[in-house]
A and B are shown apart, each in its own frame.
Chain A
Amino acid sequence: NAGVTQTPKFRVLKTGQSMTLLCAQDMNHEYMYWYRQDPGMGLRLIHYSVGEGTTAKGEVPDGYNVSRLKKQNFLLGLESAAPSQTSVYFCASSSPLWRANTGELFFGEGSRLTVL
């Protein structure tokens, strides 16, 4: 059972470089989310999507872009990485309650990104 898969798991970037994090889920979930986790700050929502072709900003969207061209994939892009974007990034997915009456988030294993 793959669930939610994130790639890559680790990455080191130089300031100004770009990269894309890929999230793939095989649970046919409508909703997908990107969070960042920093010490003492819990998880903060970057962007989310409620369906294929739709995206929306979360709490901390600046410096990130996302795309959801396919229902199972949600990409997070950093166009010009900055040291402040050093963090652990989590992708998560869920279904609306009318389809799956749990509502919980299913998480990937996280991606540790370091920007030098």
Chain B
Amino acid sequence: AQTVTQSQPEMSVQEAETVTLSCTYDTSENNYYLFWYKQPPSRQMILVIRQEAYKQQNATENRFSVNFQKAAKSFSLKISDSQLGDTAMYFCAFMKLRETGNQFYFGTGTSLTVIP
């Protein structure tokens, strides 16, 4: 079974600073996808960034970037120039490819607070 571990239940960062959220996963799959989702207090789950395992280049989306280490099975999220609107719960997710339906596995989340 796949497992996704987020070892930081809570984190905080000063506004405009940089913060890194960690995620590790366990799998025997060679091809898969990884995602970071953001859940603000409104409860809506929003995709932040995605990474295909077969791509060596780390994904970036504006202030958000990942450090994907396939051999180490690590997928951390870096948020640069943190903003108050980044305050949210962040979930790391692993997607296993299957013809019978892609299967997703989620970590337990990291609650991030951006301090003014």
Contacts and interface: CB of A to CB of B under 8 A. Distances in A.
A109 B46 CA distance: 10
Contact of A103 (B33, B43, B107, B108): B33
A42 B102 contact: no
Given A90-B45, A109-B43, A103 B50 contact: yes
Contacts of A104: 35, 47, 50
B101 A50 contact: yes
Contact of A97 (B43, B97, B100): B97
Central interface residue in A94, A97, A103, by most chain B CB within 10 Å: A103
Contacts of A110: 43-44
A42 B100 contact: no
Given A103-B102, A104-B50, A42 B91 contact: yes
Central interface residue in A40, A42, A88, by most chain B CB within 10 Å: A42
Contacts of B33: 103
B106 A43 contact: yes
A90 B93 CA distance: 15
User: Binding site of A, secondary structure by majority: helix, strand, loop or mixed?
Assistant: strand
A96 B102 contact: yes
Interface in B1-20: 4, 9
B44 A103 contact: no
B108 A105 contact: no
A105 B43 contact: no
Contacts of A42: 4, 91, 106-109
B23 to A, nearest CB: 12
Nearest to B109: A42
10 contacts: A33-B104, A42-B107, A43-B91, A44-B106, A45-B103, A56-B100, A103-B33, A105-B45, A105-B104, A109-B44
Interface of A: 31, 33, 35, 40-45, 48-50, 56, 88, 90, 92, 94, 96-97, 102-105, 107, 109-110
Interface of B: 4, 9, 33, 35, 37, 42-45, 47, 50, 91, 93, 95, 97, 99-104, 106-109
